[in-house]
Chains A and B, each alone.
Chain A
Amino acid sequence: MTRVVSIYLPDLPTDRIRRADPSLPADQPIAVIARSGAKRWVSSADVAARKAGVRVGMAAAKAQALFQGLTMIDADPVADAQALERITLWALTQYSPIVAIDALDGIVMDTEGADHLQGGEESMLIGIANRFRGKALTARIAIADTWGAAHACARAIRRETVVVPRGETVRAVERLPISLLRLPEKIVGDLRTLGFQSIGELSATPRAPLALRFGPEIGRRLDQMFAHLAEPIDPIRSLEFLEVSRSFAEPIGAAETIDKYVGRLVVQLCDALQRQGLGARRIDLIVEKVDGTRQAIRAGTAKPARDVAWLTKLFRDRTEKIEPGFGIEKLSLVAVMSEPLAETQRSSSLIEEDTRDIVPLIDVFGNRGSRVYRVAPVASDVPERSLHRIAAASDDIDVSWSHHWRRPVRLLLHPELIEVIALLPDHPPVSVTWRGKRRKVKRADGPERIFGEWWQRTSEWVAVRDYFVIEDDTGERLWIYRSGDGVDAATGSHRWFIHGIFA
């Protein structure tokens, strides 16, 4: 089952103009004027222009009359198409191996098996929306079971993102207008004349008369939308990509055969990379099957790689996920992202084996969807800020934590409120109740005072935490703190929290 994301860029022509000329004020309305013969009409208008009443399809003279300050720029469909292609190629390296241009104003991609890397579909879509907004592009994004459904939903929604759950295609699209079916305008107009408004109405009508009158196009689009008919996405390719492929006269399907040919393709690809002095960062294996569907497997590496064994391993791990169906016609291996990689002296066997490079192992973890990282110190006294995650393959860091106080092995994600009997201001507690269990404090160390970091947040200007290490009579050692210094109410709420567990 596929999951297709459709990204609709409604304001691409005006967004492109703004990106090319950052000096345009944000509130300046822009309209793009296209020419057909002697007629000049508005082919695109940005938000500000639309607010002023400019509509797409309006005569240019009328738009100008409507709003004096309107900036009118001649349409440049070629530049728009180039911009869309650039964005699509970028999306290919970022999100999924199968990405294509969808009509004149959108991108479509198959994200089956790619969303878990970004925290699920919902957060993936929000992430995409944020990235596009960061690039000053208005985008509406939908994910659904089929290209047709995602395409229609992305263009129908008012929100930025919409997730159509699996198997809910019918409910999601039945009320949408027939203009979103990707049919020729002529057919849409004729259908309207016949009284059809929504996709639901059209799909409930017997097919035969429709086919007789309009040809097979309507049935095909409906079937594609409801996943009765496969609609493979032909991924966009750039000449810069290194690509090797192998077609089979006789379709293959056995796992060992697939493994064998993938191995050979990796060797070819490494040769090609070698000739150009490149190392691959992202490689897609595209599997084309006899029934016209495609499956893709993407492997990424933490550092540019050109090592046959390493890259083969990344794919070997996942060739079992390939569903050959009725057979595989063609396998292609594409390096969609590559970086210069110079030859370096590998460690010889004279040096001890201990210094083995673990980047290939990191890649195996990463491609399985695990988060791989190291931690590094941050110069902060506040415990939860005193470390951050860094990339697993990054260089060694010389500094370490320089705590003279003991630190707990487990740090609770959120400090939990506890009940405490203690003498203020700086005596350790006498007893502590955490998660319903009361403990008598036998021994304690503290207080260790940690001051708020006013440069992080102004509310921490005077904030103080007093940490104690306490040990109860069974020997359990806990890390607790009082918010505030015990005297001045401005320094904190004076409530007690548990923050960590010692060994």
Chain B
Amino acid sequence: MQQTATNATISELRDRIQHLEGGPVRTRKMLPFGVPAIDGVLPGGGLAYGALHEVAGGGTGTVDGAAAALFVAGIAARTRGKIVWCLTRPDLFFPALAQAGLQANRVVFVESDKEEDVLANMQEALGYGGLGAVVGEIVRLPMTASRRLQLAAEKTGTIGLAVRRWRRQSEANDFGQPTASTTRWRVSVLPSEELPVPGVGRPRWLLELMRSRAGECAEFAVGACDDKGRIHLSAGSAHGSHSSSRSLAAG
């Protein structure tokens, strides 16, 4: 209760400052995760629309970026409108994204040969407006490029999601470089939730919020996206099924 009151005061102050600055007064919308612990840490109570967010995999996941991609797919699934997904390596297996609640009809893939084209296509899509989210799988994200993406996103209020994935694990040092993105996440795999029987339970991730503009860093152990793209805070025990409907949980 205390926390929300403080947040309200701060956001009111922020609005007033923005008003004094004379910039365009935007009503910034948020996409909450629906997990109070995470939304509480993020300024505004969720992932900001009209901003660029960066997600990378941790550990060996920096190369394949599987967890990062699914995390992003879960976010995209909770938005409305078409999704533009820009990439160079077409190894995404869509049935998995469909299991995270992302409909195939909503996603338009844009595959290019060069890394720069991915950035240009992302910028184009972010500037177009009216989309749910724009996702790009990129290796390098220089400061200028990220600033362009951030500005394009701000202009139309579209969410920009950059999945950072590298070709070699050694390249992942690049993730330390500063960018203009609003938040920066790292998703690493954790052992799955324990089941009372042998088998792989609901996947769990270590979600690290490594940077958040005007906010604090934090980390969470979460259960991976369910069939509506939602994550939940994981206690590491056997509660919570993989899907929201019981009948599908037979596996």
Binds A, one of B11-19, B29-37, B171-179, B186-194: B186-194
Instruction: With both chains docked as a complex, state the minimum distance between the C-beta of B229 and any C-beta of chain A, in angstroms.
Output: 12
Decide: A358 and B93 in contact? CB cutoff 8 A: no
Decide: A397 and B59 in contact? CB cutoff 8 A: no
- Bound-state CA distance A409–B95 (Å) is 8
Given known pairs A376-B104, A400-B98, A404-B251, the reply for A411 and B91 (CB within 8 Å) is yes
Decide: A354 and B80 in contact? CB cutoff 8 A: yes
Instruction: With both chains docked as a complex, state the minimum distance between the C-beta of B163 and any C-beta of chain A, in angstroms.
Output: 11
- Bound-state CA distance A177–B226 (Å) is 71
**B117 at interface, CB cutoff 8 A:** yes
Decide: A410 and B93 in contact? CB cutoff 8 A: yes
Decide: A443 and B111 in contact? CB cutoff 8 A: no
**A327 at interface, CB cutoff 8 A:** no
Using CB atoms, name the residue of chain A closest to B73. Answer: A409
**B215 at interface, CB cutoff 8 A:** no
**B38 at interface, CB cutoff 8 A:** no
A interface: dominant SS:
mixed
Decide: B200 and A445 in contact? CB cutoff 8 A: yes
- Bound-state CA distance A383–B92 (Å) is 12
Residues of A close to B248: CB separation below 8 A: 404
**A124 at interface, CB cutoff 8 A:** no
Instruction: With both chains docked as a complex, state the minimum distance between the C-beta of B231 and any C-beta of chain A, in angstroms.
Output: 11
Residues of B close to A365: CB separation below 8 A: 110, 121, 124
Using CB atoms, name the residue of chain B closest to A377. Answer: B104
**B40 at interface, CB cutoff 8 A:** no
Decide: A374 and B91 in contact? CB cutoff 8 A: no
Instruction: With both chains docked as a complex, state the minimum distance between the C-beta of A397 and any C-beta of chain B, in angstroms.
Output: 6
Decide: A372 and B224 in contact? CB cutoff 8 A: no
B-contact 0/1 string along A183-221, CB 8 Å cutoff: 000000000000000000000000000000000000000
Instruction: With both chains docked as a complex, state the minimum distance between the C-beta of B208 and any C-beta of chain A, in angstroms.
Output: 15
- Bound-state CA distance A371–B120 (Å) is 14
Using a Cβ–Cβ cut-off of 8 Å, how many residues does chain A contribute to the interface with B? 55
Using CB atoms, name the residue of chain A closest to B60. Answer: A476
Binds A, one of B1-9, B42-50, B127-135, B139-147: B127-135
Decide: B190 and A405 in contact? CB cutoff 8 A: no
**B27 at interface, CB cutoff 8 A:** no
The one of A369, A400, A408, A442 that contacts B66, using a Cβ cutoff of 8 Å: A408
**A457 at interface, CB cutoff 8 A:** no
- Bound-state CA distance A339–B214 (Å) is 53
Interface residues in B60-89 (C-beta closer than 8 Å to A) = 60-61, 64-67, 69-71, 73, 80-82, 84, 86
Residues of A close to B96: CB separation below 8 A: 406-409, 502-503
Decide: A371 and B121 in contact? CB cutoff 8 A: no
Decide: B191 and A410 in contact? CB cutoff 8 A: no
Interface residues in A358-412 (C-beta closer than 8 Å to B) = 358, 360-362, 364-365, 368-377, 383, 386-387, 389, 392, 396-397, 400-401, 403-412
Given known pairs A356-B81, A370-B110, A408-B96, the reply for A477 and B203 (CB within 8 Å) is yes
**A99 at interface, CB cutoff 8 A:** no
The one of A400, A410, A469, A477 that contacts B92, using a Cβ cutoff of 8 Å: A410
B-contact 0/1 string along A72-116, CB 8 Å cutoff: 000000000000000000000000000000000000000000000
In this complex, the interface size class of chain B, counting residues with CB under 8 Å from chain A, is 35 or more
**B196 at interface, CB cutoff 8 A:** no
A-contact 0/1 string along B84-114, CB 8 Å cutoff: 1010000111111111000111011111110
**B20 at interface, CB cutoff 8 A:** no
Using CB atoms, name the residue of chain B closest to A362. Answer: B108
The one of A364, A370, A404, A502 that contacts B112, using a Cβ cutoff of 8 Å: A370
Given known pairs A475-B204, A476-B60, A503-B71, the reply for A397 and B124 (CB within 8 Å) is no
Decide: A374 and B130 in contact? CB cutoff 8 A: no
Given known pairs A361-B125, A471-B200, A474-B189, the reply for A392 and B95 (CB within 8 Å) is no
Decide: A401 and B98 in contact? CB cutoff 8 A: yes
A-contact 0/1 string along B140-182, CB 8 Å cutoff: 0000000000000000000000000000000000000000000
**A21 at interface, CB cutoff 8 A:** no
Which residue, of A383, A473, A503, has the highest number of chain B Cβ atoms within 10 A?
A: A503
Using CB atoms, name the residue of chain A closest to B242. Answer: A406
Decide: B192 and A410 in contact? CB cutoff 8 A: no
Residues of B close to A476: CB separation below 8 A: 59-61, 189
Decide: A409 and B110 in contact? CB cutoff 8 A: no
Residues of B close to A356: CB separation below 8 A: 81-82, 129-131
Residues of B close to A392: CB separation below 8 A: 108-109
Residue contacts A-B, CB under 8 angstroms, 15 given: A356-B131, A361-B125, A370-B86, A372-B109, A374-B104, A375-B107, A383-B93, A404-B248, A405-B251, A409-B73, A443-B201, A470-B200, A471-B191, A500-B93, A503-B224
